A and B are shown apart, each in its own frame.
Chain A
């Protein structure tokens, strides 16, 4: 049984600060990792994908992966109120297996 753990929050961060979201996973065979953002009542929207150990930056977002520790994180710099949402972590099982999602972390950016 593949498991993905995320702190459900809510995580409250002041506007302009760095938000740090964490995720651990159980399947050592996972090779790809995805972060999705989901606004209340909406569907998940892909933010970042990461495949190799280390950091990957895209605008204000940085994904960090450590396969040895089975840990992946998402940093959001210069947090904006529009970043307030639930962030879902999903390690990829490999094509046909589908994605296994955590319950998500509810992020609140306080103006």
Chain B
């Protein structure tokens, strides 16, 4: 049973650039949530995708956008990168209830 996968594992970008992160949910899961975790903080909810639509969004600017594909995989896009966007980006998948299973994360460093 494949768990949640994310790519890439690490990424270095410079300010002003754009980045795309990818996530494949756990087998049988149809919903994907994205979180940002800064160093020393708990994960913060960015948004959730279900049936290829953004279902709910946390307190993040429009520079953060996403997409879900028919196979339930998802992308997170961040435009005009800021130094403060440096963080661990986590994808979690779920189906039905609220129990969310996290992928290994993508560590983004913005220079």
Answer whether residue A58 sits at the interface, using C-beta atoms and an 8 A cutoff: no
Number of chain B interface residues as a range? 20 to 34
Per a CB cutoff under 8 Å, which of A43, A95, A97 touches B102? Answer: A43
Q: Is A68 at the interface (CB under 8 A from chain B)?
A: no
Q: Is the CB of A98 within 8 A of B50?
A: no
Q: How far is the CA of A47 from the CA of B36 in the complex (A)?
A: 20
CB–CB B42/A88 < 8 A: yes
Query: Looking at the complex, which one of B47, B97, B100, B105 makes contact with A99 (CB distance below 8 Å)?
Result: B100
At the interface, yes or no: A44 with Cβ under 8 Å from chain B? yes
**B42 and A98: CB pair below 8 A?**
no
Give A53 to B108 CA distance when docked, in angstroms.
39
Q: B99 to A98, Cβ gap below 8 A?
A: no
Count A/B pairs, Cβ under 8 Å.
59
Stretch from A11-19, A76-84, A101-109 that touches the partner: A101-109
Query: Is A43 touching B105 in the complex (CB atoms < 8 A)?
Result: yes
The answer for the CA separation of A13 and B14 in the assembled complex, in Å, is 42
Say whether A34 contacts B99, CB under 8 Å: yes
| 16 additional contacts (CB under 8 A) given A88-B42, A99-B100 | A4-B42, A32-B97, A32-B98, A34-B99, A42-B105, A43-B103, A43-B104, A43-B105, A44-B102, A90-B42, A94-B98, A95-B98, A96-B55, A96-B56, A98-B58, A104-B42
Could you jot down 23 A-B contacts, CB within 8 Å? A34-B99, A34-B100, A36-B102, A42-B105, A43-B88, A43-B103, A43-B105, A44-B43, A46-B100, A90-B42, A92-B98, A95-B97, A95-B98, A96-B48, A96-B50, A97-B56, A98-B35, A99-B33, A100-B45, A101-B35, A101-B44, A103-B40, A103-B41
